[in-house]
Amino acid sequence: MSLYELKEVSFSYEKEPVLKDLQLEIREGSFLGLLGPNGSGKTTLLRLLSGALSPQKGNVFFKGQEVSLMEPAERARAMGVVPQEFNLDFPFVLEEVVAMGRYPYLPWWGALGAMDQEKIEEALYITGLERLRKRTINRLSGGERQRGVIARALAQDPQVLLLDEPVSNLDIRYQQEVFELLARLNHDRDLTIILVSHDLNLAAQYCSELALLSQGSIKAMGSPKKVLEAGLVESTYGVAVEVAENALTGRPQVSLLPHRARAAGEIENGPWVHVIGGGGSAQQILYGLKRWGFRASLGVVNAGDTDAEVARRLDIPRVLEAPFSAISAGAREANEKYIEQADFLLIADVPFGGGNMANLELALEAARRGCRVLRIKGKSIEERDYTGGSAAWLWEVLGSLGAIDIELEEVFNHLKGGVESE
């Protein structure tokens, strides 16, 4: 069931458009993270949802009722708002701050009733702040203060919690503490939660849905895996990223890649380096080759493999085989053509089994033709040999033909030196 529905919503500050013809539906029970660079309209959207702003064009509906037409007290009973900053001039004790959440329910004389006290107690209990109830708000830690502000919103008994960067000023421990609390509220109480976040990874780990905003429009909306696709993130934020799956949670994890101007002496239109990798063993190699200007190719790897996806994003040619399949004759032939035109053959710290032994066999043929072979130092070949000794034997022959073992950190200097000595 829809909790919010936005129809062709636009909003501008003076003459600066922030949101343009926005169409959005938010389901009841969602845990939605609003992402996007500065100026993309995240906070403005949150303020439109809360009724703090009214759209200059279009309509914002809450359960079928136009938000801008709701009475302030009615909105306050339905929507708990947690601002980015919460400051009080007077040193209220925490219990008094939480009691402020009951103001929309109080009669004109302002006395708290039994129901109000019950909601205050419940909010303190849920946020784990009962023992701190008599402490002044300015004597709480950052995480405790933020939980106190959330407790105030919960005392309103809202149908939705709207939070603007709720952990922006907290250290990593308190960030986790707040997001764990929000996840429990969403899961255990079916409370709809909508928050603005600049932390893609926190949002990815805890939110069930993400909306990625860019230049006043929603660029993507859906599961974290769908929204935090590397190409989408790169085009939205203008930075290079790597997106991998968190091994423990299965959620996407975004890593920022260094970006720098080309330094003097870097290779431009450099030699061709063919990479033998797989399973993520060649990620750093591929990024390094691209940054330093070397032409590169990769193969054979299975479709969907991490190295294959990195090569795709970097526009590096690759030879693919079907997932969980051994290298076919056609893939071997295509790989051999890349190797024949390569100036260097670079073998990552990759295990060898029956499925990819053909890569090692092609490396041996290339070494016999005089191709320069480099092998990244890592685990011993015996630890990576799942062929009963065949891979270790080929590895030994490769060494006798002049293959060089090298640390990953040194490989790019070696490649540059090899080119400059020609």
Give domain status of residue 347, yes or no: yes
pLDDT confidence bin for 84, thresholds 50/70/90: confident
Q: Where are the alpha helices (DSSP H) in 164-282?
A: 172-189, 200-206, 224-227, 230-237
How high is the pLDDT of residue 323?
Answer: 84
**Range from 141-145, 249-253, 379-383 carrying the lowest mean pLDDT:** 141-145
Q: How far apart are CA 35 and CA 24, in angstroms?
A: 14
Does pTM surpass 0.95? Answer: no
Give domain status of residue 18, yes or no: yes
Domain CATH number, residue 83: 3.40.50.300
Same domain, 147 and 71: yes
* The two structure tokens encoding residue 38: 């500065």
Alpha carbon separation from 220 to 4, 75, 197, 420 (Å, rounded): 18, 28, 15, 46
Give domain status of residue 160, yes or no: yes
Same domain, 291 and 176: no
Q: Look up the domain containing 414 and give its range.
A: 272-420
Residue 89 CA, distance from chain mean position: 37
pLDDT tens track for 277-297: 988 888 888 888 887 778 899
DSSP 8-state code for residue 352: B
How high is the pLDDT of residue 242?
Answer: 80
Give 397's Cβ-side CA count (13 Å radius).
Answer: 15
Of 181, 210, 237, which marks where a domain is finished? 237
Q: Which phi and psi angles does 272 have, rounded to 5°?
A: -90, 130
Same domain, 288 and 182: no
Reported residue count of the chain is 422
Q: How far apart are CA 37 and CA 238, in angstroms?
A: 9
Q: How far apart are CA 98 and CA 133, in angstroms?
A: 9
Residue type present at position 57: K
Helices (H) and strands (E) in the chain, counts: 16, 18
Residues 101/155, Cβ–Cβ less than 8 Å = yes
Give domain status of residue 114, yes or no: yes
Q: Give the chain's domain count.
A: 2
Residue 356 pLDDT > 50, yes or no? yes
Give domain status of residue 261, yes or no: no
Beta bridge partners of 301: 320
How high is the pLDDT of residue 306?
Answer: 84
How high is the pLDDT of residue 390?
Answer: 93
How high is the pLDDT of residue 418?
Answer: 52
Q: Which phi and psi angles does 155 have, rounded to 5°?
A: -65, -20
Alpha carbon separation from 179 to 120, 205, 378 (Å, rounded): 21, 9, 38
How high is the pLDDT of residue 269?
Answer: 55
Q: How far apart are CA 6 and CA 25, in angstroms?
A: 6
Alpha carbon separation from 166 to 194, 250, 294 (Å, rounded): 11, 24, 44
pLDDT confidence bin for 263, thresholds 50/70/90: very low
Residue 264 pLDDT > 50, yes or no? no
How high is the pLDDT of residue 240?
Answer: 74
- Rg (alpha carbons) of the chain, rounded to whole number: 29
How high is the pLDDT of residue 421?
Answer: 43
How high is the pLDDT of residue 258?
Answer: 60
Biggest CA pair distance of the chain: 94
